[in-house]
A and B are shown apart, each in its own frame.
Chain A
């Protein structure tokens, strides 16, 4: 007799039906505030999963996700803004950029591609380094990208940033893009290429002796991660509808890293609890930061309470569960993206038993 948690119907209900029902309730019944927070959660899940893809799975500890996100956000925004708005707000914008106006999904794809190409170009030199050196260099890319955005004023409008994007990142769009992105990342992870990445992380020499090209696989992983970070950035820009270089700097870098580490770096599913904690906590605690009465308890005004609670939480996770909440397990996506979950619904019990005997 198999355990309940291994049954297809249980998996189907917990990872597909319940989340879908919650999302439908949020979309139809809740007001914009709750929708915004949930959209933010999904975008953060993409960003955290993209970070896990390099940091946990391939073992390239990259801090550069925020810079790829920035590229995605800027490329996406410049592609969807109406030409007259671009001309009036960004002084000296080249005509060929000003005249482009693409539908949102095309812009989304292109923003991801831009980020991936950028990652490919910088990846060739920087992926020669590893460990701490790589982390520092990728942190450098965050600073370089911010500096570029600050100073390429004729394209990016400098630190003034760009505003006025349409709010294309609605809940259904974001959920769709997130699920697709996670599916692609999960499939790559479970393919032979993905196993090559994991092998490289565990033992480079052994992996190379088996014919896995260290350079190619790592570069590919870096570019895939950047692609999805770019898509996350583009979604983010069309949610906030106002971007500036300072938003993709160290705070964002470490926020993404926190999500990734809290959830479990080596698991793509870890992105979900990690992003949920980091996204929801500031909002749950926003009442505390200005004082007031919550659940009948009088709470004083404590500035910076969010930071205190988050750091304590982070320390607790580091003490009690070093690998993050999910460690290297991919419970959620194993269930969500496996065909067995869906085909298992229609099979009779004895089919499973027969299969096991064979």
Chain B
């Protein structure tokens, strides 16, 4: 009998703990703003799933557009998607406070895709079918963006990827998939040009994370452009695990080269950033390290400290610029109480204003998905924080690339450039 009571007590305690976790967080965060009135709408629609398709469609045509947010807020892509979603929600709040799009409030429903492809596809279906989203933003890493984008494509709904920089998104998904950032071909070429022209590098060694489409194409485009410029790539090491922590094999390969390369190029994500940088520096390899926007995170400089000096990477925005960028920077700081971790916050912010710009200028009051897709495709001169977006020559914009470096634990903007890429490099 006593044992039973203990068992039940344990159960009750566990439930109480779970409840405390849920409600406790609730009390702390209840001020966290939810944009727009959409939440109420979506809740109402959830309770009537059978006829939601019709009601969702009706609601969206009357009340202005419905934007579906699909963000990887947990999992490996969260470092990029949390800032992105925060930037997007900030912009949406501003837009709605200023009267919305075409004078109508914007509905916004968003879900956490957990960096998981099956969640991404089914939640995209949910956004489109249940919540009646006319356009989808976010989408996660390239693999998830392709899967979710394909679902959106099937429903004719445009998708705006803010994190994925896959240059051939349109070929893989279709004409409804747009990128807000530039493609990997552009950023890799810009880094190669900077290294070749500014750092005077003639030889390079490449380390590639083979687990993701992003790092693979970044590495490929860097090598092809560096060689096209006249440089030489000594070799490439690969690793194929997100949890990889021991880079000694590739370090030995670099050390065994008859001539030490002028620069090292790491195609990797934030997770490995500090580890790989530290290990290379500890091994006495102190030439400049180059990377793409995957290493764009102030945390890397903080964790790696001095080892991160002389690390150069491409990014999408220069937060030290005055004007709109500094306004955004302050608004972000005010709303979230922190600095944007990386450029993806600005990309999310741009995505919201891009939708506003496209719909107000080209949609002529028609808020169907087809009309919004056509409107976005017509954008040729949208000036956002991250540069000018022009979709006239394809769904991946050709934007300015900003080159940064880490210096004493801080991110330092160096220059911006638009690389010249020959057509055959794009495949």
Contacts and interface: CB of A to CB of B under 8 A. Distances in A.
Interface in B1-58: 7, 10-11, 14-15, 17-18, 21-22, 25-26, 28-30, 32, 34, 39-40, 42-43, 46, 49-50, 52-53
Contacts of A171: none
Interface string B179-215: 0000000000000000000000000000000111100
A37 B122 contact: yes
B46 A158 contact: no
Contacts of B126: 33, 283, 286
B125 interface: yes
Interface string A300-344: 111111111100100110011000000000000000000000000
Nearest to A300: B29
B250 to A, nearest CB: 16
Interface stretch (A93-101, A129-137, A174-182, A287-295): A287-295
Interface stretch (B106-114, B281-289, B299-307): B106-114
Interface string B126-143: 101110000000000001
B240 A240 contact: no
A298 B46 CA distance: 15
Interface string A239-256: 011101111000100000
A251 B116 contact: yes
Contacts of B82: 303
Contacts of B26: 298-300
Nearest to B118: A240
Given A33-B125, A147-B240, A292 B49 contact: no
B108 to A, nearest CB: 10
Interface in A92-132: none
B43 A159 contact: no
B129 A240 contact: no
B53 A31 contact: yes
Given A242-B143, A319-B14, A306 B114 contact: yes
Contacts of A315: 14
Nearest to A246: B211
A283 B110 CA distance: 13
Contacts of B14: 312, 315-316, 319
Interface in A150-170: 150-151, 158-161, 163-164
A286 B112 contact: yes
B30 A32 contact: no
Contacts of B121: 36, 240-242
Contacts of B15: 316
B112 A290 contact: yes
Interface string A255-271: 00000000000000000
B216 interface: yes
- Interface size classification for chain B: 35 or more
Nearest to A250: B243
Nearest to A89: B172
Given A31-B49, A247-B118, A289-B73, A242 B210 contact: no
Given A31-B49, A286-B112, A319-B7, A36 B122 contact: yes
A32 B52 CA distance: 12
A298 B29 CA distance: 11
A292 B43 contact: yes
Contact of B216 (A160, A247, A295, A316): A160
B181 to A, nearest CB: 19
| B78, B112, B129 interface centre (most CB from chain A within 10 Å) | B112
B129 A31 contact: yes
A302 B34 CA distance: 12
A68 to B, nearest CB: 17
A282 interface: yes
B210 A301 contact: no
Interface residues of A, number: 57
B401 interface: no
Task: Report whether over half of chain A's contact residues are helix, strand or loop; otherwise say mixed.
Answer: helix
B147 interface: yes
B361 interface: no
Nearest to B39: A292
A319 B30 contact: no
A286 B74 contact: no
Contacts of B242: 246
A34 interface: yes
B22 A302 contact: yes
Nearest to A31: B129
Nearest to A149: B240
Contacts of B211: 150, 159, 245-246
A104 to B, nearest CB: 18
B354 to A, nearest CB: 21
A300 B32 contact: yes
Contacts of B22: 302, 305
A355 interface: no
B407 interface: no
Contact of B21 (A36, A158, A308, A320): A308
A33 B130 contact: yes
A348 interface: no
Contacts of A147: 240
B276 interface: no
Contact of A31 (B29, B119, B130): B130
B376 interface: no
Contact of A159 (B28, B117, B172, B213): B213
Interface in B208-254: 210-213, 216, 240, 242
A40 interface: yes
Contact of A33 (B30, B117, B122): B122
A33 B119 CA distance: 11
Contacts of B111: 286-287, 289-290
A308 B20 CA distance: 12
Contacts of A216: none
B123 interface: yes
Contact of B34 (A146, A161, A291): A291
Contacts of A32: 125, 128-129
A29 interface: yes
B50 A30 contact: yes
B147 A241 contact: yes
B396 interface: no
Given A31-B52, A242-B143, A300-B29, A309 B42 contact: no
B309 interface: no
Given A164-B172, A300-B30, A319-B14, 4 more contacts: A31-B53, A159-B143, A283-B126, A290-B110
The 6 closest A-B pairs by CB, nearest first: A242-B147, A292-B39, A289-B112, A31-B129, A300-B29, A33-B126
16 contacts: A31-B130, A33-B126, A40-B122, A150-B210, A151-B240, A159-B216, A160-B143, A240-B117, A287-B46, A290-B110, A292-B39, A298-B26, A306-B74, A312-B14, A315-B14, A319-B14
